[in-house]
Amino acid sequence: MSATPITRAEPLRDAVYARIVELFWSGAYPPGTAVTEAALSRQLDVSRTPVREALLRLEAEGVLRSALAKGFTVRPLDAREAAELYPILGTLESLAVRTAGTPPPSVVRALEHILAELEDCTDPIRRWRLDSDWHAGLVAAAGNRQLQEMVSRVRTNLSRYELTYMRETVDRTEPDRQHLEILVEFASGDTDRAADLLTAHWEAGMRAVLNWLNPPADRP
């Protein structure tokens, strides 16, 4: 997949980071894949300096790891890390929902539209993007930029797990049902109830991913 072209109006450093994240979200770099500055520099048609800055940023955020003279690789999946990340994301998103207040009808309609697309979508990468857009819409309703940025960083890291998991898991009936239940409460203005349901949603997602990473039959 090719990244979206960078326009001159965009700050180069931020644009390069965003395009590289976009490539990760496309599934182009699964866990364990080597990521080279030179290849990305050619693909994005930019110098290696902003590419390296973006890769170092992704390393600091937990997506990549580097080794001397070996460059960067996408970090492998680890059950302990997943068990740490999911509650953080669930807590941050629930905080956003709890403080959002009753959303305007336009926000509710946009979230309903995404859920309708999700129900009909079978492509795992597209499903993940729609799922991410839906959650981002919930968080954005709070109008807290700092919280949005924190959620985005954790979600980018967690995407390694979710994208890989969704490729191998066909049935998404239960997460779709949970989304609808959350939205009903959120739209009604019962943000406390919506936040509690959202926390439970992320806990269920964590259990599913942990069971997938380490099936009960494989445990000692």
Say how far apart CA 166 and CA 173 lie, in whole Å: 12
Higher pLDDT, 1 or 174: 174
Name every residue whose Cβ is closer than 8 Å to that of residue 208 and which is 6 or more positions away in sequence. 165, 169
Residues 143-183: tens digit of each pLDDT: 999 999 999 989 988 988 998 898 888 778 899 999 999 99
Say how far apart CA 77 and CA 42 lie, in whole Å: 28
User: What are 37's two structure tokens?
Assistant: 């500055």
What DSSP string runs through 14-30?
A: HHHHHHHHHHHHTTSS-
Q: What is the pTM of this model?
A: 0.83
Phi, then psi, of 46 in degrees rounded to 5: -135, 170
Name every residue whose Cβ is closer than 8 Å to that of residue 34 and which is 6 or more positions away in sequence. 71, 72, 73
Residues 37-93: tens digit of each pLDDT: 999 999 998 999 999 999 999 998 889 999 877 789 999 999 999 999 999 999 999
Q: Is 210 exposed, middle or buried (0-12, 13-18, 19+ CB in 10 A)?
A: middle
Least confident segment among 5-9, 77-81, 201-205: 5-9
Phi, then psi, of 70 in degrees rounded to 5: -120, -5
